[in-house]
Structure 1
Amino acid sequence: MLKISTKLGSLVVAVAMAMPISSATAAKKEFGLWLEELKAEAQSNGISKPILDTAFRNVKFKEKIITLDRKQPEVTQTFQQYMAKRLPKSLVDMGKARLHKHKAVLDEVSRIYGVQPRFIVALWGVETRFGKYTGGFNVVEALTTLAYDDRRADYFRKELMIALRILEDRHIKPGDMKGSWAGAMGQAQFMPSSFVNFAVDHDKDGRRDIWTTKPDVFASAANYLSKSGWRGDQTWGREVKLPANFDKNLISLKIQKPMQEWQDLGVRKVNGTDLPSRQLVGSLVQPKGGNGQTFLVYNNYRTILKWNYSTYFAMSVGQLADKLVSP
């Protein structure tokens, strides 16, 4: 401990100063002050003190979450690596079994929302391995950490406020609000804003439960797709082959052409046969890191991108949906 004496007129003041505090301690103090201001804002927006006290109990800034935010799979994995990891045979087999097991409720949901059961199950499988891996993060803590970080602070702050409203409305208890490191919740992996806009109380028990109630999970996923532009009479796309010297400028979601035009340009199914005769409008996509693999994708692919704007993700959902109904 150092003592520094300073003369102020005739007065000598002894000032005791501790050694410099660590940057981590300083950051923690700053986070604490920021958090108190955030809680005050939430309370002014109608979130009750009991909910705030429970939701923020033991909440801390988690560096692990920031690290995960910086390591997105499309940055660290090739397309083939991603697909091999996300769509093993075991997942396909589990998906087929669940498509059969939940056929009655899936068919009912499909009739209401116009989304084929195989796509509902595929989303369920890709997101959480059919509810097995929903994420063990405290959603409030995850969103608080990301709201404090600079990268997308405004977005995650809004999501955090919505999450608190979901707790206030008693759809889930604070201790049970678990999800991914990014704050995506339950078996459908909805962000709080998606929950508010699309979650459905299919079993009519007064709660929109995307954590444990499968009918609510299925209906919520189907409602999301339906309201986002899904077409129940179409598939998502297919892998194709391009002719030699094909104009690579045509490989873009910004370019859409009916099937016959792609056929005339030499595009064929991956086995070399003609494209389907139905004149769906499609675009050519080559996933980054995919070694030239090319897909002709339709409206429903674009709709899946509204769920998660990731080429890898949308491809995995589409391909799993195909595998679920293949021999």
Structure 2
Amino acid sequence: MRSLIDRLKQSHFGIIPAETYERLGSDAKESSASTGAPAKGDGNAGAHVRVVNDSAIVTKVEPDSPAAQAGIVPGWELIRVEKNSVSDVLKTVRAAHAGSTLLPTYLSLSCQNLLSGDAGETVTARFRDARGKSTTRQITFRTPAGKPSQFMNLPTMYTTFESRQVARGIGYIAFSAFLDPQNISIQFKHAVEQYEKARGLIIDLRGNPGGLGFMANGMAGYLVDQPNLKLGEMKMRNMQIQFVINPQPTVYEGPVAILVDECSMSTSEIMAGGLQDLGRARIFGTPTPGAALPSRIEKLPNGDGFQYAFANYTSAKGQVLEGKGVTPDEIVLPRRSELLTGRDPVIEAAIKWIGTHGRTQ
């Protein structure tokens, strides 16, 4: 059955082993809100890892996170966590997902997951530092920063929102997931209002796994001033959903740069791909995986879970995102040499573009 599903080359079709399926169900119920303790596996190091040229590179370290406290910095290469060698993990993932459009995503997430586990658990991790020397760190996982949010029957995700100025007159917005609209959507609105007269606006969707689809066209309403436009449409057996953009009273009219990578999925792809099609945003980073479809997970008689999509999605220009993803207008890799000096090459590329296309102040 797995081989038949693999031939579809679609992201939201698959068999989830019984052990994993049961853990998804129990973890969703055993949240800190109900038990007073973090759910099993609900902890991480606060370090973001991406696979670049077959190396697992730390691309971001969250402030005050376990990784930051351990002295880990962007640009370090992850070599091993406990008995798990990164090279072995990459080899296993490549063998299991050869030919899949999601391979880059699986590679990065598999390495990222090495730095997650039970909150309070301590692991030993080995890295290659800026001098190229091996260094070992003890990391104690903690519950992720942010507000816990639940989406369908998936494990609890934690939402964070960031808004700041990254260069003179250039605003920057980043949020971890399209969830908790009462919080995230309102903060997005306030940020756009704050940067209404900015030279340019950067929206960072790197690592954003998606969430609630309607949040994408809702946010787009603060970036598009023309009525009757849409990000795309989703077709189901008995109905269609139009991701119509409704311009808001405050609309940012300057240049918009959206940052994506192989871990920008689902609603992130809907927003980035739609605004790219409309010519409203320029995309920077690495290609997204093409994991845009909504899905359900049904329990099979043997205990496994069967995940299947129940819709198809096309962007504003009629492009099918599933299995193809969003190709950035400017491909920018997170190069280790730049990360080690405290730079973010993707943000820098967006700033450079805004510098030549931005509004004068």
Q: TM (normalized to structure 2)?
A: 0.26
Larger CA Rg, structure 1 vs 2: 1
- TM-score, with length taken from structure 1: 0.28
**Between structures 1 and 2, the one with greater strand share:** 2
